[in-house]
């Protein structure tokens, strides 16, 4: 078993370069041995259901991290009935033998304030080490300022992460626009092949060898 495990949860609807940048920044800053990507079945703080099925979201994460030995994906939340609560996933990892001091839960700085609304707060802060990675337009100081009690409980990682959102990707696809600069090539191909998010095959216009192929580290 590795000694320092990063955990990056999310809907990943779809996964994009912003997620991969956050994982890489946390891995480098905290010397993580592995980063575990955990697609959610149904996030309680979302106002709408995921647009893509759990099967497709798991597949897209697998494609995005393929080739990086330090990254892996878990279906623990996809196979669990009901809402996906982080505290349940952390308890699952504890049952597997991980101690709270070995687990580093990664989230974007823009999501830090939401922790106060999570199930099990504030006890959840003792279930893992929490890591906030800088996001475009959101300073870490501003994020923590909204919940001052978190300042001493969250590690802050300064990083340059690409300004990408899953919402923007879905909007581009619905408008018939390319997403090649927002997601890994394999993810784009999967979306197009399965017509996810209203995508059409004629978006697949660039030659595979000229497409941006910025792989995860």
Confidence category of residue 37, pLDDT binned at 50, 70, 90:
very high
How many CA atoms lie less than 13 Å away from 19 in the CB half-sphere?
A: 26
* Residue 173 token pair: 């696809």
Any idea what the CATH number is for the domain that residue 39 is in? Answer: 3.40.50.620
Residue at 182 is within a domain: no
- The percent of residues above 90 in pLDDT, for the chain, comes to 71
Residue 81 to residue 77: CA distance in whole angstroms: 8
User: What does the pLDDT read at residue 212?
Assistant: 43
Residue at 193 is within a domain: no
Kindly report, residue by residue over 98-116, the tens digit of the pLDDT.
Answer: 999 999 999 998 888 889 8
Q: What is the mean pLDDT of residues 186-192?
A: 97
| Element of type H or E holding 62 | helix 54-65
Closest CA to 191 of 213, 212, 210, 173: 173
Residue at 157 is within a domain: yes
Q: Is the pLDDT of residue 209 over 60?
A: no
Residue at 16 is within a domain: yes
Residue 198 to residue 30: CA distance in whole angstroms: 38
| Element of type H or E holding 35 | strand 34-39
Confidence category of residue 203, pLDDT binned at 50, 70, 90:
very low
Residue 4 to residue 33: CA distance in whole angstroms: 5
Residue at 178 is within a domain: no
Residue at 25 is within a domain: yes
Kindly report, residue by residue over 39-86, the tens digit of the pLDDT.
Answer: 999 988 877 889 999 999 999 999 999 999 999 999 999 999 789 999
How many structural domains compose the chain?
1
User: Is 72 strand, coil or helix?
Assistant: strand
Residue at 13 is within a domain: yes
């Amino acid at each position: 078993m590795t000694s320092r495990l990063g955990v990056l949860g999310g809907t990943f609807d779809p996964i994009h370069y912003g997620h991969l940048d956050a994982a890489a920044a946390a891995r480098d800053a905290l010397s993580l041995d592995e980063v575990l990507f955990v697609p959610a079945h149904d996030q309680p703080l979302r106002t709408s259901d995921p647009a893509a099925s759990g099967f497709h979201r798991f597949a897209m994460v697998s494609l995005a991290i393929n080739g990086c030995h330090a990254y892996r994906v878990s279906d623990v939340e996809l196979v669990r009935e009901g809402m996906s609560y982080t505290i349940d996933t952390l308890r699952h990892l504890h049952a597997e033998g991980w101690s709270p001091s070995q687990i580093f839960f990664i989230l974007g700085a823009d999501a830090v304030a939401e922790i106060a609304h999570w199930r099990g707060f504030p006890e959840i802060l003792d279930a893992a080490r929490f890591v906030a990675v800088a996001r475009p337009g959101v300073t870490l100081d501003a994020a923590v300022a909204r919940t001052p009690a978190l300042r001493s409980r969250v590690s802050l990682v300064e990083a340059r992460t690409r300004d990408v959102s899953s919402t923007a990707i879905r909007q581009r696809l619905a408008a018939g626009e390319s997403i090649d600069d927002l997601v890994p090539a394999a993810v784009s191909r999967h979306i197009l092949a399965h017509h996810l998010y209203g995508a059409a095959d004629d978006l697949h216009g660039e030659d595979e060898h000229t497409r941006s192929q910025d792989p995860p580290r």
